[in-house]
Amino acid sequence: MPDSVKLEKAELRQLDAEFKNEINPDKTAKVQFNPESLKVAFANQIATPAGAGDQKGTPARQFVGAGTTKLTLQLWFDVTQPMPEGQTAENDVRKLTQKVAYFITPVQEGKNYVPPSVRFIWGSFQFDGLMESLEESLEFFSPEGRPLRASMTLNLSQQKITEFTIKDVAASAAQTPGTRPLTEVPKDKSLPELADGQGKGGDWQSIAAANNIENPRMLEPGQLLDMNAGVSIGGSFGAGVSGSAGSFGSFDSSGSIGASSSSFGASSSFGASSSPSAQGGGSIETNIKLEVSDLF
């Protein structure tokens, strides 16, 4: 396995009223999942002079005021997924989204109420402005009615058009995500056949696990696979068979299930001669024979 790449997480940071210095670091909101895309829109204030309609030809247009720059993005939060480094797990997704909603909540400055100035920063991308609008959608709930997943659509704006702010970031020593060569699945090809064609037939189980493939014998034509990825699953398959009460139970037999990756063949079978114990306790006096071909 290649070294994993540590992904830089986007953040929302509070700025002072002059948009110069970062303040209140405790209010910084780090996203759980980076946005898929960022949309930046620029608009100048253009007006047609009065009386221009009496002239022949195209009327003149003039720049009459400062332009506007807007940033639109979508963020996702899900408390059932791992939290960003340094953040504690929560059981209600709004405990995460409230950190983002802080930047649209007006605070008192003298006699006026204005939303905090905000800086969105992600690697070399930086945008300073005010949060113009925020839309939150609660997507998934627990049986008790707690929201577990939410999407947030943010619109940030600044009343000017400036040159791009491009921050210097240190290059990662690991391989950049998305640059690994991928293999396109031909029609009527299974993963074992595809791996065997590349001289990796003995490691197709690892490739399947690394690509999150549930059925290696039924691949979608055109599907892209990383044939260089792989994880060692030898010896751990037997432990993975154990489940919750009502499923398979945990096998405690003298026969080894998946003791090595080479024993996990397509046509091989293996049985458990001793009595397996169910997870909830007790014993089941039976013989179990498992055909590997039935799994796929």
pLDDT at 175 over 70: no
CATH number at residue 187: 3.10.350.10
* Same domain (yes/no): 87, 209: no
pLDDT at 263 over 60: no
pLDDT at 281: 46
pLDDT at 210: 83
Q: What share of the chain is helix, strand, coil (3-state, %, to 5)?
A: 15, 30, 55
Q: Is residue 1 part of a domain?
A: no
- Mean pLDDT over residues 148-159, rounded? 95
Query: In the structure encoding, which two tokens stand for residue 287, read together?
Result: 């013989």
Binned at pLDDT 50, 70 and 90, residue 278 comes out as: very low
* Same domain (yes/no): 19, 77: yes
69/161 Cα distance (integer angstroms) = 6
Q: Are 71 and 38 in contact (CB under 8 A)?
A: yes
More reliable by pLDDT, 224 or 255: 224
pLDDT at 282: 47
Classify residue 217 by burial, with Cβ atoms within 10 Å: 0-12, 13-18, 19+: middle
Q: Are 139 and 184 in contact (CB under 8 A)?
A: no
Q: Domain tally for the chain?
A: 3
Q: Is residue 79 part of a domain?
A: yes
Range(s) of the domain holding residue 244? 238-296
* Same domain (yes/no): 255, 295: yes
Q: Which of 111, 127, 158 is the last residue of a domain?
A: 158
